[in-house]
Structure 1
Amino acid sequence: MVVSSSNPQNREMAIRKRIASIFNKREDDFPSLKEYNDFLEEVEDMTFDLIEGINVPAIEAKIAQYQEENAEQIMINRARKAEELAAAMAASKGNPSQTDNDGAASQSSQAGVSGQGQYAPTVPGGQPRPTGMAPQPVPLGVGPDIHGYAADDEEMKKLQAERGRRAGGWSIEFSVSRKRALEESFSSIWIC
């Protein structure tokens, strides 16, 4: 599978995400640190070659072969990662991890994970759905302004308008010079 995107950064991120989901072994899956580092180096070499478009068919064949030979291990590692993420989400919400099955099932359902280790649907941005009621933002123009004054006062509205013009770069001097420039430019136009 070749990932194509107009943005090179998005393309690289997509390739790295894909490779990481397939070659997802951890250090404890290897008998020695050297073997783990060799594995990481080989994966990074393949990732770099895919990003740069070097020998892509051979790398894709190697990825397919690895997926076929290690399908069970890949799924186990994905499930382990999902469980760790669910536990981390539960811990961040203040739910202590429990060892009994009933507690773990209720904890995982609160964390957005079903009993089989599958994630519940997320919002389009990829973030988990919020579970609690968050404080709602106050709309602008309702209640006192940031200085504590009521916005209904006519004098306050004029002051806010003047501050807005100054904040936007408008000044009376600019207005006068602009008016004179416009008058000079239009006075030089000859209509025949």
Structure 2
Amino acid sequence: MVVASGTNAFAKEMAIRKRIASIYNKREEDFPSLREYNDYLEEVEDMIVNLTEGIDVPAIEARIAQYQRENAEQIMNAQARKAEEYAAALAASKGQPPQAGTDLLSSSQMGVSTVAQGQYAPAIAGGGVAQPRPMGMGPQPVPLGSGPDMMGYEYEDEETMKLRAEKAARAGGWSVEISKKRALEEAFASIWI
């Protein structure tokens, strides 16, 4: 079935993108020029496409493993930064002040007095000083790069997706019988005698 292979290909690509993004997670400000950042993004995208298409997979996997070994601390710091920003945005969206220990900058240093309820409050405001990153042993924030997708579901196979769609339709009051009955009523209503 064409739809099934497209769905599986999409799920495969999304899983690859998620995995690569958790490893190659540098930002524009990590590069001295926009050109170098764009080259980095292009290299990452080429790896994703090649992995998705199955082109030179062992060589790419070796490059990824080497990059992970060489940049383990940078990867962990970027994941921690992402987790901090997510937590700050979540707290701001709920109208809660940042928790003690997560926001080490005072509001006067950031140039912001307060954040209105429901507004986004980034962890670093206006090119200010970045928050310290965890180093060494001890409790580390959980990286957001692995686990369920945005809706909280793990990537699923076709059968599970069909089951979920059927349950959702039934929960909304739809059934096959109602659809058949309506089709018959419309068919007979269109017959002119």
TM-score normalised by L of structure 1:
0.53
Match of 1:60 in 2: 61
Distance, in Å, in 1 between the alignment partners of 2:183 and 2:25 is: 55
Matched, 1:168 2:192: no
Matched, 1:126 2:152: yes
1:114-153 residue pairs with structure 2 within 5 A? 116-118=140-142, 126=152
Distance, in Å, in 2 between the alignment partners of 1:165 and 1:33 is: 55
Unmatched runs of 5 consecutive residues or more in structure 1: 105-114, 128-139, 141-163, 178-192
1:39-78 residue pairs with structure 2 within 5 A? 39-78=40-79
Structure with more relative contact order (C-alpha pairs < 8 Å, separation 6 or more): 2
Task: Give CA deviations for 1:91-143 in whole Å, capped at 9, x if unaligned.
Answer: 11111336x53988xxxxxxxxxx85348xx999627xxxxxxxxxxxx9xxx
Amino acid at match of 1:88: A
**RMSD over equivalenced CA pairs, Å:** 3.9
Match of 1:185 in 2: none
Please tell me whether the aligned partners of residues 83 and 141 of structure 2 are also in contact (alpha carbons under 8 angstroms): yes
Decide whether aligned partners of structure 1 residues 165 and 30 sit closer, same or farther in structure 2, where only a CA change above 3 A counts: closer
Task: Give CA deviations for 1:58-96 in whole Å, capped at 9, x if unaligned.
Answer: 111100100010011001100100110011111111113
**Displacement of 1:28 after TM fit?**
1.0
Larger radius of gyration: 1
SS in 2 for 1:31: coil
Identity %: 60
**Displacement of 1:46 after TM fit?**
0.9
Amino acid at match of 1:117: P
TM-score normalised by L of structure 2:
0.53
Distance, in Å, in 1 between the alignment partners of 2:88 and 2:179 is: 52
Aligned residues: 125
